[in-house]
Structure 1
Amino acid sequence: MLELDRGTRPLRSWYRKAQAYDAYQGHPLLQQRYGTAHFRVLVVAPSMTRLQRIAEEVVKVNRQAAANYLFLPETHVHPTTIRRGWFGIGTVVWTTNQVVDRLVEQPQVTLAPSHLWEPTPS
């Protein structure tokens, strides 16, 4: 799946998208339609800051790093940089913050370089 984020939608919408993608993983309808039980979600966004915020919303769904997501800054959408420009979710640290009158847990995500694919030996 490919998601092109232009930074125009609220970040909270990514939480709902991640829930939907999570529900679709391993679903019989996915197998029936595409002949596979699993897929990757490739997210392209205008900046690393936006990618990190999207990754934080994704992590909130299962409270852990999601290996099936890869993130790419739009500046790397080019034939010479697209394979090596991707990032996966490296680490997740949860912190508790007080927001008005309640405590809210928030993830801090570190993105780590991850190749979209490995080159085949010649």
Structure 2
Amino acid sequence: MRIGELAERAGVSTRTLRYYESRGLLPARRAVNGYRVYDDEDLRLVAQIRTLQDFGFGLDETRPFVECLRAGHPQGDSCPASLDQYRRKIDELDALIGQLNSVRDQVAAELVRAEADLPGGPAPRCEMRG
């Protein structure tokens, strides 16, 4: 298939596909007429990249999964390097969750302080009714 068809089937732009190619994530095969050509395996690669990006993985973080698929494995996460990348992402997410919880606690403490400082005490809460 040509680049336009792959883009349509994968739900991305041709520009995105050329970018993946420039980053070495998508093979750069060309027909004798010079057009880029792709197959269903390339569609799997793009789908794997997009899924991981939806999960918050950066483009470089998708490389172990793409390499795993290119090596002929049935899934991009069938290889040890992919599993390691999952572990790194989970550690990163855990750290971010910890930071967010800390910020939330600080904001909540500021709210309690600000409410206590109001003349006449805390303002009544407005309850939303559905």
TM-score, with length taken from structure 2: 0.23
**Which protein, 1 or 2, shows the higher relative CO under an 8 Å CA cutoff with sep ≥ 6?**
1
Q: Which has the larger radius of gyration?
A: 2
TM-score, with length taken from structure 1: 0.24
- Larger proportion of helix: 2
